[in-house]
Amino acid sequence: MNRQRGMALLLVLWALALLTLLLGALVVEVRQQVALGFWQREHTRATLAAEAGMNLAVRALSDPAANRRWITDGRTQTLRFDDASLQVSVRSERGKLDLNAASATDVSRLLTALGASPTQARTVAAALDQRRAVGQPPLRALEELRDLAGMSAPLYEGLLDQVTVWSGMALPDPAFATGVLRRALHLPDIQPLGVDAGPIVGIRSQAYLPDGITAVVDSTVLLLPMDSGTRPFRVVRYNE
């Protein structure tokens, strides 16, 4: 009898231990789901705030008063939207190296300035030349860079802020170019005031929420005339 009672007690204790483990695992899973749901909600909110920053930039670029329009040389503007802090910068696509129009030599120089070895720079530049050979369609998206022979992930990320496929210019306008690009191509240091930035700009908007969650929206937009009766801009590239 005592032995049977002992076995029964062991079974009860084992069942309680198993139940405790199951309940503990359930609590952990519920907490993880709650945390994930909170992060997703807040990240969505941060992304919407970053998109609001993009719209605020377009409005500032379209201001009827020329002295209030933002200068499109990449300088950062600090804004507020609801409870989010925004860091927004705008750069004219004319200040970037056009992959469809630039010489292979200039492309190679930029690649070297971004850390590519001479061999890697020549390989990528040659692959780009082959890609845009006679009869080939022009590059229509920056993401096509990933497919070029010799391209690496770090080099691709470094190129994104320096190149374009929308300006049509063989050389970037130094008034809007980055310091890296000016040094690589030996361009003069020109102030952007009074220089035509063109209708296509790249906008980077980063939102910071009070809880520490952030979101970044990188876009390229075509600015349209305010009296066109349509939306004042068209997004030609969007990445978050």
Range with the lowest mean pLDDT among 177-181, 201-205, 233-237? 233-237
Are 144 and 79 spatial neighbours (Cβ–Cβ below 8 Å)?
no
Query: What's residue 140's pLDDT?
Result: 94
| Rg, Å, the chain Cα set | 27
Given pLDDT bands bounded at 50, 70 and 90, which one contains residue 5?
A: low
Query: What's residue 34's pLDDT?
Result: 67
User: What is the helix (H) or strand (E) element at residue 146, kind and residue range?
Assistant: none
Instruction: Report how far residue 179's alpha carbon sits from residue 4's, in angstroms, rounded to the nearest whole number.
Output: 84
Alpha helices in 91-204 (DSSP H): 104-113, 118-131, 153-159, 179-185
Percent of the chain past pLDDT 70, that is, above it, reads 92
Domains of the chain by range and CATH?
1-96+172-240 (3.30.1300.30), 104-160 (no CATH)
Pick from 10-24, 37-51, 126-140, 209-223 the range whose average pLDDT is largest. Answer: 209-223
What is the pLDDT of the chain when averaged over all its residues? Answer: 90
The mean per-residue pLDDT over the stretch 163-192 comes to 96
pLDDT surpassing 60 at residue 42: yes
User: What is the helix (H) or strand (E) element at residue 141, kind and residue range?
Assistant: none
pLDDT surpassing 60 at residue 89: yes
The mean per-residue pLDDT over the stretch 222-231 comes to 78
For the entire predicted model, the pTM comes to 0.83
Distances (CA, A) of 141 to 29, 138, 179: 41, 9, 24
The mean per-residue pLDDT over the stretch 85-109 comes to 97
Give the model confidence (pLDDT) of 130-156 as tens digits.
999 877 899 999 999 999 999 999 999
Residue 223: Cβ within 10 Å count: 16
Query: What's residue 3's pLDDT?
Result: 62
Query: What's residue 194's pLDDT?
Result: 78
Query: What's residue 8's pLDDT?
Result: 67
